[in-house]
Amino acid sequence: MKLPVYGAPDGNAELRAYAALAAESYAGDRDAFERRLSAFRDGGIRVLRRGSRCVAGALHFDFAQYFGGKAVPARGLAAVAVAPHLRGGGLAREFLHSWLKEACDDGVALAPLYPAAQRLYRSLGWELAGTRVTYQFRPADLPARHGKVRPATDDDEALIRDLHARSRSVANGPLKRCPELWQRLRASAPDLPAFAYIAEDGGYVLYALRREPPGVRFRIEVRELVALNRPALHALLALLAGQRSVCSSIQMVLAPFDPALPAIQPDHICPVHERLEWMLRVVNLSQAVQGRGWPHGMSAKVAFTLEDVMLPANAGAWTLQLARGRASLKRGGRGGPRLEPGGLAALYSSRSTPAELRALGLLSGPESQDAALAAVFAGPAPWMPDFF
């Protein structure tokens, strides 16, 4: 039977073909990639075929992403790869268009990704939507007032999940993780031992130690630090500071205006190690509107026309109405501006204001509703601690 051009891998041979393609595309180890893919057997891999050959593929994670205080169903795209000798011929665009249509049919609201090729994703309606900034600082710069901290045990898993949800759900962009991403966060290896500690006042830290030979010194890679209050934050920072005799530096992803920043920053310079940008695609407009939270108690009415060539189900004139913080979205409405899908994504995540979108060419037409659009989509600066 002839297989469709796009779909899930048909058995182990195609799975291995995609693993080989991804390993070559990312200079990775093929066997390691195959082992990693075994976690995705329940459907998170897609391939594109030419005849009987697998020529492109990607994997995805089904999770949720917090916006406005609610977890919105999202599908994160990763490890997009096209056979090197076939690049430049439109295969990635074809693959991504099929992937988007499938996600839309599946009722997925949002699709975040980390772009290695922004132009490619932008041409399909993704736009920059938030950041992931890793800071690097000296343990000696941390406050060292010790607090109530204990090693985490297996019994703390529910506590960790609860603290995570309470801390991240009030931000825009962080994930409500799927099991694969939780597993990856907690993974330990002989060359990368990982540890977890609980702050009794409400917080936890997960970190790994990376040796920096020669000598005995190491770097602390904080995988996650969650603190619901100041005593918990300072207790966890003091735990890290306590390693300063043998630890040369600490790397940690923080929110744009993270409460930890004043404690780790010795002066006006923010010691940034890496700043990544992630992109977002609104895949299913009505799911995205229904799924997220909105400014508390706000009432507003805005009309706009969405130009979505790739996903026509989203295209056309819409009216978004908020009544005391509850949203409804209806077809139709006059006098509103025109939004590109990328403009919608950057607005939705609270990354860009209508004025910035006009400068980017992602919003055009009448300006009369710009102030209402800005108010409706206003929120904390979007960020995402996870990399996938």
Ligand X SMILES: CC(C)(COP(=O)(O)OP(=O)(O)OC[C@H]1O[C@@H](n2cnc3c(N)ncnc32)[C@H](O)[C@@H]1OP(=O)(O)O)[C@@H](O)C(=O)NCCC(=O)NCCS
Which spans of this chain sit near ligand X (rule: CB under 6 A)? 25, 80-82, 87-93, 115-117, 119-120, 123
Closest C-alpha among 344, 355, 332, 335 to residue 308: 344
Q: Which is nearer to ligand X, 102 or 370 (CB)?
A: 102
101 Cα distance to chain centroid: 20
Work out the burial of residue 20: count CB atoms within 10 Å of its CB; fewer than 13 is exposed, 13-18 middle, 19 or more buried: middle
Q: Which is nearer to ligand X, 59 or 289 (CB)?
A: 59
Tell me the C-alpha distance between 195 and 210, whole Å: 12
Q: Which is nearer to ligand X, 83 or 149 (CB)?
A: 83
Shortest gap between Cβ of 223 and ligand X (angstroms)?
A: 22
Matching residue, tokens 């603190």: 227
Shortest gap between Cβ of 103 and ligand X (angstroms)?
A: 16
Shortest gap between Cβ of 278 and ligand X (angstroms)?
A: 10
Amino acid occupying residue 30: R
Shortest gap between Cβ of 282 and ligand X (angstroms)?
A: 19
Tell me the C-alpha distance between 134 and 111, whole Å: 23
Q: Which is nearer to ligand X, 202 or 341 (CB)?
A: 341
- The answer to whether the beta carbons of residues 69 and 75 sit under 8 Å apart is no
Shortest gap between Cβ of 116 and ligand X (angstroms)?
A: 4
294 Cα distance to chain centroid: 20
364 Cα distance to chain centroid: 28
Q: Which is nearer to ligand X, 90 or 193 (CB)?
A: 90
Q: How far is CA 296 from CA 64, 257, 353, 378, in A?
A: 21, 21, 19, 11
Shortest gap between Cβ of 279 and ligand X (angstroms)?
A: 9
DSSP 236: H
Q: Which is nearer to ligand X, 116 or 261 (CB)?
A: 116
Tell me the C-alpha distance between 48 and 343, whole Å: 29
